[in-house]
Amino acid sequence: MTTIRHDVLDGHQNDHLAVGDWLVSLFLLLLLDQFRKEPSQRIPYWAGAKFLQAVGSLILFVRGPTPEFATIASANTLLLLGCAYEAWAVCYLVGHRVGRLVHVPVALAIVAVCLATFCLPPSDRAAVVFAVHTVFYALPAVVLLRRNRAGSLLRWVLGASYLLVSLLFLAHVLWLAVDVAPSWQPFGAIIYAVMVPSIYGIMIVSGFSMLLLAKDKSDRELEAAQASLRSKDEQYRRKLERLNKTDDLTGIANRRHFDAVLAREYARHTRSGDHLSLILADVDHFKAYNDCYGHVAGDDCLRRIGGILAANASRATDLAARYGGEEFACILPMTDLDGACAIAEQMRRAIEDQAIAHQGSSTAGVVTASFGVATMRCTKDLTFSEVVAAADKLLYAAKSSGRNCVQCLAVKD
């Protein structure tokens, strides 16, 4: 909104428009303050826009009966800057931030235009300033109406409000630009009488719409932030769950996860009646390996063996886990004794083929492992701990038989 002194308006009309403009801007500033309690609902540029418009209108109100050009120019400059900043606020609401490379040159151009009107007569000066107002009110109207792909009612209302204001200013520009016969002069007063309350009403509606649009934008941003937090929370939850299931050293499943999967698979195989096989493996003479090569090399050795076991227990339902210390375990669902023994033998050979030097081993000059394999048909009469006990006995038998071998047994057929 703006008030410009020119030939068509008398002093009382100017006072009325200036006071009204100042009160509307002050009202919107106070309203904005109530909505600014949440930082996410703040609208860049808009508070400054209303402040500039209020100060510009106040200058016009206290200008005196014969204001100097400096008074008129400063008031026009503040009003036009407020109009421009209001356009930048609308651009922000639709997702387009206006940076200094735009608003600073535009502000300088407004100052230059207001100073350049010094050489113009009052009516032409008013026409120029009203024309600039027309442009700055048309800009947010175009931005709001063109980019309203979602069909937001608030954006339609706000865009239509700015469009109507720009059309009113354009009509006033055309009225000032055309030589009007004396008999038509009363129509100027009618245009002005309609223009002032219309602008007040439209700008109040647009002010409410802008605040509601800002709240809608902040609500959408809050919803997006909450969705992002939920997504990150889910990612962290999955990561934590993965960490809870994974052995820190070897990167394969840990004992806790092994126990949970074995209990689940035993229950599933009890219902289906399929074979369930379990492999227990122990690195031969591992204490001697640590004493000879150190714990860092020992950790690396365990990582490599864990990788070998996981690579050979390759089905989606298979599970390789670190059972404790230098002991490992593999769950092989729906696998009979022959298949489980073949997989265990592949693992034993793969470990030996790594040729990890082991001078402290009395079995071989390289790192080896012993395996115990137990297979059973799961029934309600037994528990999963019994298959573990059977595999453990077979592992002990393999170590007693000279190590670096596989011992297999069907617990119950």
Residues identified as active-site: 326
Largest CA distance in the chain: 125
Q: What is the DSSP string of 238-285?
A: HHHHHHHHB-TTTSSB-HHHHHHHHHHHHHHHHHH--EEEEEEEEETT
**Distance, CA of 96 to chain centre:** 18
Q: Which two structure tokens, joined as six digits, stand for 206?
A: 């647009």
Cα–Cα dist 361/57, whole Å = 96
What stretch of H or E contains 176? helix 153-177
What is the Cα 233 distance to its own chain's centre? 13
* Residue 220 to residue 222: CA distance in whole angstroms: 5
DSSP strand pairing (369-377 vs 275-283): antiparallel
User: Which pairs count as long-range contacts for 289-293, CB under 8 Å and 24+ apart, including other chains?
Assistant: 289/358, 289/360, 289/361, 289/367, 291/360, 292/358, 292/359, 292/360
Q: Beta 406-412 vs 369-377: how paired, if at all?
A: parallel
